[in-house]
Amino acid sequence: MIILEDVHYSYDGVYTALRGISLQVDDGERFAVIGANGAGKTTMVKHMNGLLRPQKGRVILDGRDTKFMSVAEIARKVGLVFQNPDHQLFLDSVKKEVEFGLRNIGFTESEAAQRRQKTLASLGLEGFAERSPFTLSGGERKRVALASVLSTEPRFLALDEPTIGQDAHQKNQLAQMLAEMNKRGRTVVVVTHDIEFVIENFPRTIAMADGQIIADGSTNMVLSNDEVIERCSLAPPQMTLAARALRNVFPEVGQRLTLLSELEETIMGILGGA
């Protein structure tokens, strides 16, 4: 369990990037963090794995204040995947790349090799073990970077804007993989601007603005709130727009339509009855 208690953080002492974040992340959860650029999402996620330490308030990981833990120590429990895979790949084979992180946090050579094999297999990267990461495509490099974090089997996995620049197929792949991780008991946190991705994959959503959490609850509830959508610089999803337009004529259409299948059933209802 990760608990953030009234966390404050400022990069330059003047402008405050986080202004009192309180949040509880339970084991096995899956949630999304949304918010406009500069809202403080990255800053908050970096607090979860100790890259940043609160200037006021506390971050508690499994009952221990992270103040007394090193990043390497936290990294065993909390994995953080950044947006640009090129920021971490530096070795000349995928195999070495994945084992590097494992060796860093103290696994023996044979343990590391074992875990590496397992992780590459689970991400469909077996064939790439001997390839140089630099000869791979962007999408493949992203998966290698992910593998290097996943191989340590962190109980908490946070991904900062993994959907940016991804095509529909890559997004589906990512969603499937996260769902699988989650099913196996891992906690998954994803920062994203992709509202459809959130609706389809996450039961809980946290909305941030100006360094504060402005909404935290079920995705359905958070994203039905127009003010939240507005303050997070999001566009209302097509489904919501369709539902609203329908509601004008068919009052029986519900207030909180978000899923595609729900809309489908509603329209079936309208047209079937007509």
Partner 1 sequence: MSFLEVFQYTRQDSVMHRLDPRSKLVLSIVCATVSMMFMEIIPLLMVFTCLLPLIAAAKSLGRWAKSMKGLGALLVFVLVFNTLLSPMEYPFSYSLSLAIRLVALMTSFSLFFLTVQPDQLSQALIQMRVKFEFAFAMSMAMRYVPTLGQEAYAIMDAQRARGVELDKGNIVKRIRNIIPIIVPLIIVSIRRALSIAESMESRGFGVSENRTYMEMLRFRKRDWALVLSSLLILILVIYVRFFVGLPGWMMWNLPF
Partner 2 sequence: MALIEFADFSFKYLGADSLALKRIKLTIDNGEYVVITGPSGCGKTTFCRAINALVPQFHRGYVAGNVYTDGKNTREYEVATFASVAGLVFQNPENQLVTLDVEKEIAFGPENLGVAPSEIRRRVEELIELLDLEELREKHPHEMSGGEQQRVAIAATLALKPKVLVADEPTSNLDPQSAEAILEIIAHLNKRGMAVVLVEHRLDLVAKDASRIILMDKGRIVADGDPREVLAMDLCEEIGVGVPKATQVYKRLKTRGIELGNVPLTGVELAELVQEATSR
Ligand X SMILES: Nc1ncnc2c1ncn2[C@@H]1O[C@H](COP(=O)(O)OP(=O)(O)O)[C@@H](O)[C@H]1O
Quote the Cα angle for 236-213-23, to 5°: 125
**Binding positions for ligand X, 158-177, rule CB under 6 A:** none
**Of residues 211 and 253, the one with the C-beta less far from Mg ion:** 211
12 binds ligand X (CB under 6 A): yes
Rounded to a whole number of angstroms, the minimum distance from the CB of residue 210 to ligand X is 9
Rounded to a whole number of angstroms, the minimum distance from the CB of residue 106 to partner 1 is 8
**Of residues 75 and 232, the one with the C-beta less far from partner 1:** 75
Task: By CB under 8 A, name the binding residues for partner 1.
Answer: 46, 49, 51, 70-72, 75-76, 79-80, 82, 84, 86-90, 100-101, 104-105, 134, 148-149
7 binds ligand X (CB under 6 A): no
> Is the CB of residue 75 less than 8 Å from the CB of residue 49?
yes
Rounded to a whole number of angstroms, the minimum distance from the CB of residue 273 to partner 2 is 9
Read out DSSP for 204-241?
EEEEEETTEEEEEEEHHHHHH-HHHHHHTTPPPPHHHH
CA atoms within 13 A on the CB side of 14: 1
Q: Reduce the DSSP state of residue 193 to 3 states and report it.
A: coil
Location of structure tokens 């890259």: 51
Beta-carbon neighbour count of residue 34 at 10 Å? 30
Q: In the beta sheet, which residues pair with residue 56?
A: 8
Spell out the residues 6+ positions from residue 162 whose beta carbon is closer than 8 angstroms to its own.
81, 83, 142, 174, 190, 192
> Is the CB of residue 112 less than 8 Å from the CB of residue 102?
yes
Location of structure tokens 């003047």: 14
Which partner, ligand X, partner 2, partner 1, none, binds residue 179 by CB below 5 to 8 Å per kind? none
41 binds ligand X (CB under 6 A): yes
Rounded to a whole number of angstroms, the minimum distance from the CB of residue 97 to partner 1 is 10
Q: In the beta sheet, which residues pair with residue 214?
A: none
Rounded to a whole number of angstroms, the minimum distance from the CB of residue 134 to partner 2 is 12
For 255, counting Cβ atoms within 10 Å of its Cβ (0-12 exposed, 13-18 middle, 19+ buried), the class is: exposed
Work out which of 35, 39, 40, 42 binds Mg ion, going by CB under 5 A. Answer: 42
Beta-carbon neighbour count of residue 218 at 10 Å? 14
Task: By CB under 8 A, name the binding residues for partner 2.
Answer: 36-37, 137-139, 164-172, 193, 195-196, 233-235, 237-246, 248-249, 260, 263-264, 267-268, 270-271, 274
**Of residues 76 and 247, the one with the C-beta less far from partner 1:** 76
> Is the CB of residue 54 less than 8 Å from the CB of residue 212?
no
Rounded to a whole number of angstroms, the minimum distance from the CB of residue 261 to ligand X is 31
Q: Closest residue (Cβ) to Mg ion? A: 42
Work out which of 43, 163, 166, 219 binds ligand X, going by CB under 6 A. Answer: 43
CA distance 21 to 24: 10
Which partner, partner 1, partner 2, ligand X, none, binds residue 240 by CB below 5 to 8 Å per kind? partner 2
Please report, as ranges, the residues that interact with ligand X according to CB under 6 A: 11-12, 17, 35, 37-43, 137
Please report, as ranges, the residues that interact with Mg ion according to CB under 5 A: 42
